A and B are shown apart, each in its own frame.
Chain A
Amino acid sequence: MNEVYSGAQERLVIPGDRIENSGGLAAGSGILKTNDGLVATQLGHVMENNGVIYLQASNSTYIPRSGDLVIGFVNSMRSNLWMFDIGGPFEALLPMSLSPWNTQYGDLEEHMIVGDYALLRVQEVDSQHGVVCTMKGIGLRKISTGVVENIGSNSTKLFIGVDGSNLQKIKQQSGCRITVADNGRIWVEGSDKGISEVRNISAYFSKSDTPYPNLKSIKNFNEKMEEL
C-alpha cells in the first residue's frame, strides 16, 4: 500500500464525494465510476485492498449473499416453508426440504414456530433478491439456548478483529461460546455473568464510529476490556 492510499484508508466520505484515484485502482463496493472519476455512494471510510478501492460503509443494510452464515427468526409460516427475518430487505425462505428434519407437509409447527431463532446458511439469492436458506450443514441448527444480540452487519469485522483477535479475547474473558453471523447477529451461550459481559461489549461495538479494525479501534477495545 503506498502513502496516498494509506491516507485514504482513514478518510471519511459522504455520498457524492469525489475520490482521488491516481493509482488507477478498480472501483469496488460503495464506489460509483463516472466520467468525472470515482464517487462515493455511501457514508463511510475509503479502503483499498488488492488493487480495488472500496467503501467500508458506516451504516448499511445487510445484503444477503450465497454462502453467508446468518441468524434469523421465524416471521411467518406456510404449509411447506418457514419465512425468516434475517435483517435484510427481504424475508428468507427455508423450505421443509432444506430443514434437517423429516417434516411432513403441514406439520412444520412441530419443529419451529413463529419467533424461534435458527442458525442458517444462505443457499441462493436470485436476481430479484429472493433468498433461500438451508439448515442442512455442519453447525446449522435451531437456537434454543443462550441469547442473540444484534451488533449490525458493519460491525462484525471490528467485533472479530484482526485474525479473530478481538473475538478470542472476548471468548476468553467471558467464558462464553460465541457465533458471529454475517448479518450482524451474534449467538452467545454461557453463564449469565459471561452473557452480560458480551452484551456490554456488543453494545459498545454497535455504537462504534470506526467500523473496521484500526489502531484507534484496537486501543478503544482494549480499554473497554479492561473496564469489565
Chain B
Amino acid sequence: MGGYGDVELIKSNGERLDGRTVDELRPITIEVGVLPAARGSCRMTWGLNIAEVAVYGPMEAHPRKIQRPDRAVLDVRYNMAPFSTSDRIRPGFNRRSREISKVTAEALESIVMVEMFPRSKIRVEIEILCAEAGTRCCGITAAAVALADAGIPMKDMLVSVAAGKINDIVVLDLDKAEDNYGQADLPVGILPNSKEIAFLQMDGDLSPEEFELAMKYNMKAVDEIHKLQVEALKSKYSGGEN
C-alpha cells in the first residue's frame, strides 16, 4: 500500500480486474463439522482463501497461571500453512500471526459468554491452508461458526469483512492485487444482529466520506455472510426440518 495507487485496478467500464462490481464479495462457502475430533469445526472458502478452524473445550486452563477466577480464557492460534502462499512461510509463530491471534481473541471475547466457564480455556485453532487476501476476516468469520458448532454460549455471531480503496474508489472485499497495490484497507468485525463493532483496523488513509462508504459496504456484506453462516449451521443440525 502507499506508492502503488497508480496501478490500474479498475477497468474503464467500472468493473474490477476479476469482474466484480465495487460492492461485490468474492464467492464464499461454509462447511460445518469437518474435523471429527474437534468439538466444533468449520471450513470456509472465501475467494481463493481456505481456512479451517477447530474448537476444543472448555477445558481446564494450563498452565495454571493463565487461569482467570471469573471467566474463561480464549486461546486463539492463527497460523498460515507453509504451503498457503507461493513464497513458503516458515512454520511457527511470527509477529503477524501473533498480532492476528490477539486481534481475533479480543474480537471473539466480545461474543463468547466467557463468564460461564471460570478458570477454563477455550482453544480456537485457525489454520489458513490457502491465502489470497483477507485471511484474518476469513479466519474470524469461520471461528465464530466453529464456536457455535461447538455449543459454546455466545450472545451473537461474528462476521468479519474488509472494504478498502483502490484507484481512489472505495471497494468491498479486496483481492490479492487490490490488497497489494491499493491505497487503504478497513477490516471490521461486526455482530450481525446488534450491529455492534467488535474490532476495526485501518491500514492507509480514508477521508470521512470514504470511511462512511466503506462502512456502508461492510455492513451490507455482513448481512450476506451472516446468511451463509446460518445456512451452514442449520444444514448440519436441521435434518431437513427447517
> Which A residues are within 8 Å of any B CB, using their own CB?
10-12, 14-18, 30, 32, 39, 41-44, 57-61, 89-91, 128-129, 154, 209-210, 216
State which of A12, A42, A210 has its C-beta within 8 Å of the C-beta of B151.
Answer: A42
Q: A14-B234, A16-B191 are in contact. List 17 more A-B contacts (CB 8 A).
A: A14-B229, A15-B111, A15-B148, A16-B154, A16-B155, A16-B192, A18-B193, A41-B113, A41-B153, A42-B154, A43-B151, A44-B237, A59-B151, A61-B57, A90-B60, A209-B236, A216-B241
Whether the Cβ atoms of B119 and A128 lie closer than 8 Å is: yes
Which residues of A have CB within 8 Å of B113? 41
Whether the Cβ atoms of B157 and A209 lie closer than 8 Å is: no
Q: Most chain-A Cβ atoms within 10 A of its Cβ — which of B113, B148, B230, B242?
A: B148
A89 in contact with B193 given A59-B149, A128-B69 (CB within 8 Å): no
Whether the Cβ atoms of B239 and A89 lie closer than 8 Å is: no
Per DSSP, chain B at the interface is loop
Which residues of A have CB within 8 Å of B7? none
Whether the Cβ atoms of A10 and B241 lie closer than 8 Å is: yes
Nearest-neighbour CB distance to chain B for A101, whole angstroms, equals: 27
Task: List the B residue with the shortest CB-CB distance to A220.
Answer: B239
Q: Return 28 A-B CB contacts under 8 Å, by A number.
A: A10-B241, A12-B237, A12-B241, A14-B157, A14-B234, A16-B154, A16-B156, A16-B193, A39-B156, A39-B193, A41-B153, A41-B155, A42-B153, A43-B149, A43-B151, A43-B237, A44-B237, A59-B39, A59-B151, A61-B151, A89-B117, A89-B120, A129-B118, A129-B120, A209-B238, A209-B239, A210-B241, A216-B241
B residues contacting the other copy or chain, number (CB 8 A):
37
Which residues of B have CB within 8 Å of A42? 148, 151-154
Check if B35 is an interface residue, CB within 8 A of chain A.
Answer: no
A58 in contact with B154 given A11-B242, A89-B120, A128-B69 (CB within 8 Å): no
Which residues of A have CB within 8 Å of B164? none
How long is the Cα–Cα vector from A10 to B154 in the complex, in angstroms?
Answer: 21
Whether the Cβ atoms of A32 and B151 lie closer than 8 Å is: no
How long is the Cα–Cα vector from A50 to B148 in the complex, in angstroms?
Answer: 27
Nearest-neighbour CB distance to chain A for B71, whole angstroms, equals: 11
Q: Most chain-B Cβ atoms within 10 A of its Cβ — which of A43, A129, A154?
A: A43
Which residues of A have CB within 8 Å of B157? 14-16
Nearest-neighbour CB distance to chain A for B231, whole angstroms, equals: 10
A57 in contact with B238 given A14-B233, A89-B59 (CB within 8 Å): no
Q: Most chain-A Cβ atoms within 10 A of its Cβ — which of B60, B154, B191, B233?
A: B154
How long is the Cα–Cα vector from A172 to B242 in the complex, in angstroms?
Answer: 34
Whether the Cβ atoms of B118 and A43 lie closer than 8 Å is: no
Which residues of B have CB within 8 Å of A59? 39-40, 149-151
A43 in contact with B241 given A16-B155, A16-B192, A32-B155 (CB within 8 Å): no
User: Which residues, 55 to 80 on B, are CB-close (under 8 Å) to A?
Assistant: 57-60, 69
Which residues of A have CB within 8 Å of B69? 128
Which residues of A have CB within 8 Å of B192? 16
Whether the Cβ atoms of A128 and B153 lie closer than 8 Å is: no
Task: List the A residue with the shortest CB-CB distance to B230.
Answer: A14
How long is the Cα–Cα vector from A42 to B40 in the complex, in angstroms?
Answer: 12
State which of A16, A41, A89, A209 has its C-beta within 8 Å of the C-beta of B60.
Answer: A89
Which residues of A have CB within 8 Å of B149? 43, 59
How long is the Cα–Cα vector from A90 to B119 in the complex, in angstroms?
Answer: 9
How long is the Cα–Cα vector from A154 to B197 in the complex, in angstroms?
Answer: 33
